[in-house]
Structure 1
């Protein structure tokens, strides 16, 4: 938990799997156009912050043509009103848009991310008390 506290002090988002390491669903995974992606979700743990965002790191699990794994990172608004690309990796904007749309097409995904956001805020309060 020291790593989580250190990131909190620095204002860095914390990966859900760091705060809740024994969960079966540490990471999300899905298939898009025959490519397998893992998604790590991170959140601001400042209990006073009302950002309502998740930082999502998409990693293509099986590289194309024997190349190193590709990845990109976005900051997703949890109210469903869009996202900002932080790192493109080898992906072009249109490809990122299509992958994110596919990942968030099921409304239960946004609901789950919101639940995890709330869990992270509660965990922050617990750590700081």
Structure 2
């Protein structure tokens, strides 16, 4: 829990799996044109912040390439109205757009991200009380 508190104090987002470890639901999966991505979702733990965003880190795990730049990171608006690219790795803007659109296309991911955001905000209240 110290790591979570340290990140909170420094204004760093905290990965959902750090607060709620469960091997069955730690990460999202995204299959896109023959590639498999694990998607880690992180959230702001400032109880006073109303950012309504998730930081999503997409890591390509298949086909496995021995490269350090096999991931990209975005800040995704939880109302579904856009995102900002923070790190591109070896992915270009159009590629990222296609992957993100595919990942969020059915609506269930957006719903789940919002649920997790609420869970994280509730957990920080418990931690600080």
Shorter-chain TM-score tier: over 0.9
**Separation in 2, partners of 1:32, 1:88:** 17
Q: In structure 2, how many angstroms separate the alpha carbons of the residues matched to 1:9 and 1:108?
A: 32
Q: CA deviation at 1:94?
A: 0.2
Q: Distance in 1 between matches of 2:3 and 2:95?
A: 33
Shift of 1:108: 1.1
Report whether the alignment pairs 1:42 with 2:42: yes
Alignment TM-score, normalising by the size of structure 1: 0.95
Counterpart of 1:97? 97
Partner of 1:67: 66
Cα distance in 1 for partners of 2:103, 2:50 equals 24
Number of corresponding residues: 128
Counterpart for residue 82 of structure 2: 82
Distance between the aligned counterparts of 1:23 and 1:68, measured in 2? 25
Name the SS for the 2:62 alignment partner.
Answer: coil
Query: 1:57 deviation in Å?
Result: 0.1
Q: Distance in 1 between matches of 2:45 and 2:102?
A: 27
Q: Aligned runs of 1:7-46 on 2, under 5 Å?
A: 7-22=7-22, 24-46=24-46
Per-residue deviation, 1:22: 3.0
Q: Which runs of 5+ in 2 are unaligned?
A: none
What per-residue deviation string (whole Å, max 9, x for no partner) do you get for residues 46-100 of structure 1?
Answer: 1111000000000000245x43260000000001110000000000000000000
**Is the contact made by 2:36 and 2:63 (CA closer than 8 Å) also made in structure 1?**
no
Query: In the aligned structure 2, how far is the partner of 1:22 from the partner of 1:74?
Result: 23
Q: Distance in 2 between matches of 1:48 and 1:23?
A: 30
Output the aligned Cα RMSD: 1.2
